[in-house]
Every structure is written in C-alpha cells, then in structure tokens.
Structure 1
Amino acid sequence: MTETTVDDRALPPALAEISALEFDYDEGNGIDFEPYAAFDSPEETTDWLRNWTGNHDLDGGAYRVFGQDGTGGLAALWCIRPRPPLAEQPVVFMGSEGACGVVAGNLSDFLWVLADGIGPMEAVEYDDHTSRPDPTLTSLAQRHATTARRTAQAIIADARAEFPTYAEDIDALCQ
C-alpha cells in the first residue's frame, strides 16, 4: 500500500465544525460517532496503527484520526493521494473489533454521508445504509461540501469501488 503523507495537521473547517457537535446514538438508531477537536498526534496515530495491526514496524503518517465510535473504533483521513489537500483524501474507519473500510472518497462526500444519518462505523460495519436525514448535518454539508449531494449508499459504494482492496491491504499488514 503506497502511503503519501500530508504535512497539514490542522482540522479542515468542516471537521472543526463537526467537532463542536454532539452525535446522538439513539440506542442504535442514530450515529455512533465522537468527533475530536484536533487530529490525534503522529505518535498516537502510529501507536494506534501498530496496536491495531500488531505490526510494530508500521508508521501512522498516512492517517489523520479525527474521531471514534463508542467502542474505540477510529475514523481517519487516509492520505493516500499525492499532494491534494486533506479535504480531498478518503475517509476510512477501523473498528475496535477488526472491521475496516473506506467510508467516503473525500471529506465532502463524508459530509453527505453524515447528513444522510450514517456515521463512519455504520458505513463500514453495516450494509443497511437507509437514509435518515439530519437537518443540522445537512446544513453543515450544504455550507462545506464541494461535491453534489448523493445518498450515503451511493457514496459508500463509490468509495468501495475506488479503493476495493483497502480492507485486504490492511489485513495483510496485520501480524
């Protein structure tokens, strides 16, 4: 897996705005997501990736962790594309029990996934991506998104098609 790091460690404006929100899990009917006010440090990210995979030779430089679910699974920007800004990098999720996958092809599409009522954990761990629009998150997406609104289901399917081997590539890093 080719890794391209991006030096910017500041949250993009949309993620900064998301970090001020509280997400309601609603006993499984909402979004299980706790956004961070800042990216995890490079050291924390490397420690997390090494512990998650059991591979202590890895470096977490290709990830910018920006939130978690209630069990400790992490959402991150995956800096795989050379040189684009952070907002153009795909959003991924790595669950506490080993599930992982690509949530959206970029931050803009991730905003539409959230607006559709689907969080990063739900996008990866469940196949039912039934739309449950959230007015607050829809308003946020309308202010920040640079891509056209689409359903979470379409965005997730497109991200999986663009990065079809992500989960297998991560599994191959595990020891």
Structure 2
Amino acid sequence: MITTADDRGFPAALAAAFAHPFDYADGDGVDFEPFDAFLSAEETTDWFRAWTGNAEASGDVFRVFGCDGTGGYAAFWLVRPGRDLAEQPVVFLGSEGETGVVARDLADFLWVLADGLGPREAAEASGTGAGSRPDARRTAVAERFAPGRGQPAAVLVARAGEEFPGLDDWVMGLCR
C-alpha cells in the first residue's frame, strides 16, 4: 500500500540504506542528505508549487526523502496506480529545474546507491556510463533487501529512463 499522508516513516530498506552518512569526499563523492522521514504532504506541496511556479500544482504524487547540497530533492514518484511505494520510481528534481528518473523502484535504487551514486549523481550520469564506486555498506543493504537485482548503476538508470521517459515533459507542463 502506498504511504498515506499520515504515514511518513521510511520503508525498512530505505531506512537501512540511509543508516550511514554519505561520503561527499570534497565534491567527488555523493552529495545527498537523507531526511529522517518523508516530507509532510503540506511541505511537499509548498515546495512543488514554488519549484514549478504553479499555485495550483500539488505535490501529492511525490514522497520526498532527501536533498542534495543545492536544494534538489529525491523522491518516489507515485505514477503506478495501486502499486506499493516500493514499486514506484525514484526521481531527482534539481534546484535549477533539472529532472531525472533515477530508478524504476526501491530495489533498483538500493543498487544505484550500492554502486556509489546518489540521486543527483545518478540523474546526471544518465546515459553517460558513469563509473562504479561501490559502497560496501549499501551493497550489503541491497543484497539483503533486493537480492538478485544487482546491476551497474548506469544500466539501472538507463532502464528507468526508458520506462519513464515523460517526467520532464510532465513537469514542464506544470511550470508557469
């Protein structure tokens, strides 16, 4: 069941992936700060309206779980009706209007993190074949919660982009 407005706690797999801080490595690592819980429905809608410049837009289709240093957000995009939160794609919505589908679902996202990319890095690396920088702690989490799903991040991000090609057009259609 999709997380409701009243239930903002992370699924166990996501909480485990975020249990250790990300290594920014002076700009050469992962620029990502997970929140302690999903943003509230009100905070998400306020942000999405400001981000799109559209006072009528709703953030109901997102469960925002973290940000990068520039203020871009990572979120589940609730576009698969009737499907569990863990089956929804993960997206990055950058502070300057950048958009990117990072993973097809939570299991793929765990493996993107295990390969050493955060949401922004994955969105930027889409189609570039960015190199792997395995993260042992997050690999253990991915193996525990998504066994048999491991692939290089570049493959997972490319598949996500192929399956969900309309994110940018949808967002641009809402911008004012």
Question: Which structure 2 residue ranges, 5 or more long, are not aligned?
Answer: none
Contact persistence 1:108–1:147 (CA under 8 A): no
Contact persistence 1:77–1:91 (CA under 8 A): yes
Which residue of structure 1 lines up, in the alignment, with residue 173 of structure 2? 172
Contact persistence 1:118–1:129 (CA under 8 A): no
Q: Does 1:132 align with 2:143?
A: no
- The CA deviation string for residues 85-144 of structure 1, in whole angstroms up to 9 with x for no partner, is 111100000011111111000011000000001110011123352111110110111111
Contact persistence 1:20–1:37 (CA under 8 A): no
**In 1, Cα distance between the equivalents of 2:60 and 2:109?**
21
TM-score (norm 2): 0.92
RMSD over equivalenced CA pairs, Å: 1.4
Contact persistence 1:46–1:61 (CA under 8 A): yes
Which residue of structure 2 lines up, in the alignment, with residue 78 of structure 1? 77
Off by >6 Å, runs of 4+ in structure 1: none
User: SS of the residue aligned with 1:66?
Assistant: strand
User: SS of the residue aligned with 1:65?
Assistant: strand
User: SS of the residue aligned with 2:58?
Assistant: coil
Contact persistence 1:34–1:69 (CA under 8 A): yes
Which residue of structure 2 lines up, in the alignment, with residue 27 of structure 1? 26
Identity %: 54
Q: How many residues align?
A: 171
Question: Which structure 1 residue ranges, 5 or more long, are not aligned?
Answer: none
**In 2, Cα distance between the equivalents of 1:147 and 1:94?**
29
Q: Does 1:9 align with 2:8?
A: yes
Which residue of structure 2 lines up, in the alignment, with residue 156 of structure 1? 157
